[in-house]
Amino acid sequence: MLLNRQISLITLTASLFLMPLLTGCEKAPKAPKQDVKAANETAFEIDPSLCDFHQKTCDKKLGETLISLAISPEDTPSEKPLTVTFSSSEPMEKLQVRVEGRDMFMGVIPLILSETSKNTYQGTLIYGSCSSNYMVWRLIASFEIGGQSKTIMYDFLADNPAKNG
């Protein structure tokens, strides 16, 4: 009897742990957004707060420091090498960068960046694909500026088609 209770408890615990992993990629959120067509011609809406690398770099300010992110190719395709360029108006020390799924766990992808010019860092990123055609990734950078620890996050859409007009 005790053995059956232990097995039931183990089964319940394993089920609760595995359930979130089986949910798959999330569908497009339902907020006011701009309509676009995905590669499979299914219409979906893009959250306008996401970085759009087709237009420009994604810029954020931390105090007086301007920090910019650029990714090429601009449509940020899944399962293909992407060039990530991260730059700052101030010197950064102890830079650590990782990429994660924003809305679901897709693993933690460390991103190794090398300084290519003053306050500019570059590296290569590859991430997996999502069957829903709407996967938002989050780049998280931690660093020090002037001896103070800072963290900044950038959200962007994988497989982001160019906007027409």
Instruction: Please state whether the predicted TM-score (pTM) of the whole model is above 0.75.
Output: no
The partner residues of 46 in beta bridges, in order of sequence, read 34
| Polymer length in residues for the chain | 165
pLDDT per residue of the chain (165 residues) written in tens, 0 to 9: 544 454 444 444 444 343 333 344 544 444 444 444 444 444 556 677 899 898 889 999 998 999 999 999 999 999 999 999 999 999 999 999 999 988 888 889 999 999 999 999 999 999 988 777 789 999 999 999 989 999 999 999 999 886 643
Residue 156, judged by CB atoms within 10 A of its CB (0-12, 13-18, 19+), counts as buried
Residue with tokens 């992993």: 21
- Residues 94/79, Cβ–Cβ less than 8 Å: no
Q: How far apart are CA 42 and CA 50, in angstroms?
A: 20
